[in-house]
Structure 1
Amino acid sequence: MTAFTTADKLHRLVKHALDSGAAASIAEAEALFAGYRLALRISEDAARDRHHQAALLTAVALARRVFLGGVMVAPLPDAPLLTPLPFGTTLAEAVTVLGGSIAEPEAGTPVIEIGGTTSVRRAPFHVRAIFAGWRGGIVPAPFEAAPVPAPVMALAPMLAAALAVNEAFLYVSGHVGVAGRRTVGLSLWNPASTCDWLGDMGTEPIMSLLPAQLWLIGLGHLGQAFLWALGLLPFARPQDLNLVLQDIDIITPSTESTSILSDATLINIKKTRAMAAWAERRGFSTVVQERLFDASFRRQDGEPAVALCGLDNGVGRQALDQVGFDFVVEAGLGRGHRDFRAVRLHTMPASRPASQIWRDAQADDQVEDRPAYQGLLASGALDRCGVTLLAGKAVGAPFVGATAATLALSEVLRLLHGGTVHELIDLDLKAVEYRCTVPTLQNFSTLNPGYVMTDERHE
């Protein structure tokens, strides 16, 4: 068994309280998060719709990693599980498996309503997670606003849920004063800031094509969010999706705090093995690669030509356009307590080589002088090396990776449907409306990455 350090065990969002100075010790930070609770609501009709179920289960899976005081779902109508996610046979079973409890919340607990219509506030924070077509987002419960109806693309509910959990955390943490009193959303077909996600998107296609093979590089925070997103897609024959899963790490106690498919039962297991097992329960076909990804690596003929990259190191990223992939979507997240909500996506080939894009290493915030770290050093709980190691770990939140995953996989889906591919998407979940998108100048019209048809029954 591996002997885990404090850095391996610390919850990655609890670390935010240490780095920002909001808590003077690990115990104080953990107590702060233990006080965070969230209530989820879903109507009878919504509970019997696969897309609303997907939004609810995504919200449960993300929120229980953030609101450590508990995630309550009530009322929860009796309904069979209609999403393709492998979490049981009923909606209630899936909620429980994912860490939610079926119980009435205390008065004043922040509320996320899955779908629903305009209603009075049940709590000071009460938003609705809504979606249509390729669009997803949130509106305050009393607002008479909804996206123009269209056949739902399967990632839109995941996007809405991730943005809702982000907004709820902004509210309880006090980081944004208007949290819960604004509309927040975007379109996965046209993620530009000029696109009105609530408006009529006549150019949105009905999703009919899905990737037949993908290479996932990195199976932590982002890689597991990629898998969750793939799990929501309506494959007629799930076994037709061939995945190569690449990573070299094991699951540690802290992995669960950011990674949507990890839990305490998987500690010490290779990420490749654990994620392959989950993907195969979903019905996908898998191959694992347990070797470092760098410039010495080469994709072979017949292997997936499209990659989704969730690496967090520059050396691997610099090799992304050198190893034989025809199309790569790379997602990067902020690491510090100020920028952990930042998402930056790149696609390759691009106007600059990867070696230039990631030429300079990003400097981490220097937080060793914060009271929590000085206290660990003074008490002898950690030596100077241990403090440095702990301080250097990234702050992370699962709702950030989930949002990034919907954007990243949508680049592949737009490629398949003849939509715009973006060389760069840059956004921060504190202010999604100020996002930046840069369409690629590359011509991918002749690229056939391999595809299969959707299940005709998915709408």
Structure 2
Amino acid sequence: MTVQFEHDRIAQLLLEHDIGTDVDLARARLEGGQVQLSIDAAAAATQWGQAAALAIAATASRMFRGGVFIGGLDPVPVIVGSHVGAPLMRALEAAGCRSRNIPAKPYRLHIGSHPQSAADLYLTVSGWRAHVAPYPAQSEGKGNVIAGAAAGALAVSEAFRRHILGDLLAGRQPLTLSLWDPAAPEIDPGDITRLPASLWLLGLGNLGQATMFLLELLPFADRRLTHLLVQDRDRVGEENRLTQILTEPAWIGHRKARMLGAYADRLGFETRICERSFGASSRPEDGEPRVALAGVDNLDARRLAADGRFDLVIDAGLGSSAEEIFDLRLHAFPGRMTPQTAWPDVTGPTEAALNPGLEKLVVEGRLPQCGALAIAGQSLGVPSTAVVAAALQVGQLCRALASGTYCDFVDLTLRNPKAVVATSAMLPDNVSLPSVMPRP
């Protein structure tokens, strides 16, 4: 997957992260990044284990350009997502894994508590909790696809920090994240009991596509009973290929709403699209979803969506600089904050400074000054953080459908989930969210 540097957000991330590198060294480091995935037979037969494997394949194939490899997988049918009944190996290969020419020293991720060989990180779940540790778990509990996908993405983040960014602290401590209540991981509410019957997806970029990935994994009994409205005004760009996990080369140049709408149609959802910006006149009409998952970086759109026109809005925001790429923040409305207090006006310099790597490209004549300034002002990100954020959004939605409660604020860094700050809220008595039952 060759992308020009101007569109290569992950190579740009390395330039900003390590001031001693240049574009050639950054791309060489990315090309040398390799991950090997293994999954034991018990985990491979579970929904959570397959969700974790698919999340690793979808994210690591974009973050580790040396390849994502898998070997020794026993024949097992897919039981999650849109390829039910197909061999799991085939689904993983379609998602970006390779099963041949496994390298000698990849970064090794193992799913399950019964590894046949040593790994660098081990993934398990228990209920709604995702676990990642540098040693095998003594046992694993029954889990769901939301926790499984989060565990897979969390492991890829740790692998990227260690193997690509050279962070020696990554992968050394056990990490646990509850997708039900991050501040109270001891709570175990049991299985997923309700799924959305009507949902508005606002923003179809890095986070919005991760959300669609999670919706595809959820155990809907009949997706035709769930109505989606997907909204985004932008077109798919070349720069989206390495950070937005559903984007395909054939999508480039087309409207995101049309591509994601067609994708949702193929999954079986009842889908409508909107290609306008979310503005002052935007609001649900009769028969349209009154629950929204928002993933946009436009301040006005976020405030407008959260101002009371929906019964529930769960908004997630991702860090946009090299220091923040593993950070995320969630706000839900109604909640303790108002849209204005959640997202106050920002003042400060509008022109980003060039890092040494970009300055070198300008001096060498490989990049014009205006192009370098445009790159310096772009948001950075990695798909693994987006998948964890989407899992948290979808987890809070399922929690609200089941219990009427949800986190109205979460401040989380994937580097240390124990340091999470989260508060919970309750739906008003006069609000009832439409839902459907999952399949048994």
Q: Which runs of 5+ in 2 are unaligned?
A: none
TM normalised by structure 2 equals: 0.93
Q: Which residue of 2 aligns with 1:167?
A: 158
Cα drift, residue 443 of structure 1: 3.9
Report whether the alignment pairs 1:296 with 2:281: yes
Structural mapping, 1:429-448, within 5 Å: 429-440=414-425, 443-448=427-432
Structure 2 CA distance for partners of 1:362 and 1:6, relative to 1, 3 Å: farther
Report whether the alignment pairs 1:449 with 2:439: no
**Deviation string, structure 1 residues 291-311 (Cα, Å, up to 9, x no partner):** 011223222122100000000
Q: Which residue of 2 aligns with 1:195?
A: 185
Residues in 2 aligned to 1:266 and 1:305: alpha-carbon distance in whole angstroms: 29
Cα drift, residue 185 of structure 1: 1.4
Residues in 2 aligned to 1:362 and 1:226: alpha-carbon distance in whole angstroms: 30
- Secondary structure in 2 aligned to 1:56? helix
Residues in 2 aligned to 1:231 and 1:351: alpha-carbon distance in whole angstroms: 31
Structure 2 CA distance for partners of 1:364 and 1:89, relative to 1, 3 Å: farther
Cα drift, residue 174 of structure 1: 4.7
Q: Which residue of 2 aligns with 1:136?
A: 130
Compare 96-105 and 431-440 and name the one that shifted more: 96-105
Match of 2:364 among 379, 385, 398: 379
Whether contact under 8 Å (1:21, 1:371) holds in the other structure is no
Give the partner amino acid of 1:186.
L
Structure 2 CA distance for partners of 1:260 and 1:186, relative to 1, 3 Å: same
**Deviation string, structure 1 residues 162-211 (Cα, Å, up to 9, x no partner):** 1111111121135542322321111122210x535xxxx4x413222111
Cα drift, residue 26 of structure 1: 2.5
Count matched residues: 438
**Deviation string, structure 1 residues 257-276 (Cα, Å, up to 9, x no partner):** 11111122321121111111
Report whether the alignment pairs 1:306 with 2:297: no
Q: Which residue of 1 aligns with 2:337?
A: 352
Whether contact under 8 Å (2:195, 2:436) holds in the other structure is yes
Percent of aligned pairs with the same residue?
Answer: 32
Structural mapping, 1:411-426, within 5 Å: 411-418=396-403, 420-426=405-411
Structure 2 CA distance for partners of 1:293 and 1:30, relative to 1, 3 Å: same
Cα drift, residue 247 of structure 1: 0.3
Q: Which residue of 1 aligns with 2:189?
A: 204
Cα drift, residue 104 of structure 1: 5.3
Match of 2:36 among 39, 42, 45: 39
Report whether the alignment pairs 1:95 with 2:123: no
**Deviation string, structure 1 residues 265-292 (Cα, Å, up to 9, x no partner):** 3211211111112212211111000001
- Secondary structure in 1 aligned to 2:185? coil
RMSD between superposed Cα atoms in Å? 2.3
Residues in 2 aligned to 1:262 and 1:232: alpha-carbon distance in whole angstroms: 17
Structure 2 CA distance for partners of 1:219 and 1:86, relative to 1, 3 Å: farther
Compare 13-22 and 209-218 and name the one that shifted more: 13-22
Cα drift, residue 411 of structure 1: 1.2
**Deviation string, structure 1 residues 219-242 (Cα, Å, up to 9, x no partner):** 000000111111111111111111
Compare 269-278 and 177-186 and name the one that shifted more: 177-186
Residues in 2 aligned to 1:291 and 1:433: alpha-carbon distance in whole angstroms: 39
Structure 2 CA distance for partners of 1:5 and 1:100, relative to 1, 3 Å: closer
Report whether the alignment pairs 1:18 with 2:15: yes
Cα drift, residue 349 of structure 1: 2.0
Report whether the alignment pairs 1:227 with 2:224: no
Whether contact under 8 Å (1:38, 1:109) holds in the other structure is yes
Whether contact under 8 Å (2:5, 2:11) holds in the other structure is no
Give the partner amino acid of 1:195.
P
Residues in 1 aligned to 2:81 and 2:406: alpha-carbon distance in whole angstroms: 27
Report whether the alignment pairs 1:154 with 2:138: no
